[in-house]
Chains A and B, each alone.
Chain A
Amino acid sequence: MIARTARHQDYRKNLHRSDLLWLAALLHRLSGLGLAAFLPLHFLTLGLAVDGEARLESFLRWSDAPAVKIGEAVLMFLLAVHALGGVRLLAVENLAWHEGQKRNAVLAAVAAAAMAIVFLVWIF
């Protein structure tokens, strides 16, 4: 028995995107993008000290706000997860093949999150 047909569309089936290593790769890429976007702002901020401490100081006081502190913890997470995920990749590419890639990816993300949470507590 032939039932109805669906509407006309382009064949662009999204592969089942809940694979853990795909999510790890996406996190790695997005964290890198986030860090790349942050860096120019970080350099410009430090460069505020060119004319003495006043402008840097007023920025730093703005960054005392709790929302900014949470943002800093997020940045620490991005840095840690990108670095640890990158170390995992360097291991895959340079050491003999070893199983447990999914476990390593999860460990990297958990360690990064833990570090970010410790940082958040540390600065509050």
Chain B
Amino acid sequence: MTSELKVSLWRGGQSGRYQVFSVPQRENQSVLDVVTYVQRHLDPSLSYRFACRVGVCGSCAMTVNGRPRWTCRTHVSKVVKNNGLEIGPLENLPIIKDLATDMTGFFEKWRDARGAFIPTKTRQHEIETIAPGSPARLAVNAAIECINCGVCHAACDTVRWNENYLGPAALNRAWTLLNDVRDGGNRERFEAVAASGGCHACHSHQSCQEYCPQALNPTASIAGLKRRTAQAWLKGEIRIRGRESKA
């Protein structure tokens, strides 16, 4: 007789309740398999997100037993407690329904941190040669594999406490662009991350680095931003703009 998992799933929006389901336990089972089983066999009204199922898209991130993780890459046997699992949507984002969150705010912060590449050359120019071993390129390499899954954003205390804070993912991306020698947007980027709610709001709790499924280190990227913006500000290269706080 197969044993059964007691799986608590969040139902509803920002206010709701946990609903408990019994799911057959298998030897090889990811948390995503469990959620999928519930939706297909027990309650088709359950809402959740996934896409690739193999750990390259970041869509299936949820809170599992209190920690934000990719559910497709979390083996049930590694997280099960007393034969049970508690699964909810990612924190620090508005809940659409059940296990699905609204990522709009996450991407707005990406935009606000100037996390987009600003080109300086056209096809008429020579291709920029970038030495793979250059310090700037190495800094980019260490931080570039972010797939915007939102786990770091969900894990961050400062995101939770400070609604103006741009967050580890947006700041990490800003850092990679700062070190991209082809990019021409650094002045605006400095000012974006030097303002209130920018990189200096980070307290270096390192939860982002602890939970990132890609083993990235936004704490280190943000430390780099702190150093560079401090130097730029002391040299008078940037002005701080106020960021309106929502009362």
Chain A interface extent, by class: 20 to 34
- Which residues 146-196 of B sit at the A interface, judged by CB distance below 8 A? 155, 157
Q: Please determine whether A11 and B21 come into contact, CB atoms closer than 8 angstroms.
A: no
A16 contacts B by Cβ under 8 Å: yes
Q: Is the CB of A13 within 8 A of B63?
A: yes
A117 CB within 8 Å of chain B: no
**Which segment of A40-48, A61-69, A74-82, A86-94 sits at the interface?**
A86-94
- CA gap between A6 and B10 in the complex, in Å: 10
Q: Which residue in A6, A16, A92 is a CB contact (below 8 Å) of B20?
A: A6
Say how far B158's CB is from chain A's closest CB, in angstroms. Answer: 10
B47 within 8 A of partner (CB): no
Chain B minimum-CB-distance residue to A3 = B20
Q: Is the interface of A mostly helix, strand, loop or mixed?
A: mixed
Task: Flag if B19 contacts A6 (CB, 8 Å).
Answer: yes
Q: Is the CB of A11 within 8 A of B10?
A: yes
Contact yes or no, A1 B17, CB < 8 A: no
Contacts of A7 in B (CB 8 A): 17
Choose among A6, A94, A97 the residue that contacts B217 (Cβ–Cβ < 8 A): A97
Chain B residues packing against A (C-beta within 8 Å): 4, 6, 8, 10-22, 42-43, 63, 65-68, 88-89, 91, 95, 155, 157, 203-207, 210, 217, 219-220, 223, 226-227
Residues of A within 8 A of B (CB): 1-11, 13-16, 19, 21-22, 25, 89, 92-94, 97, 101
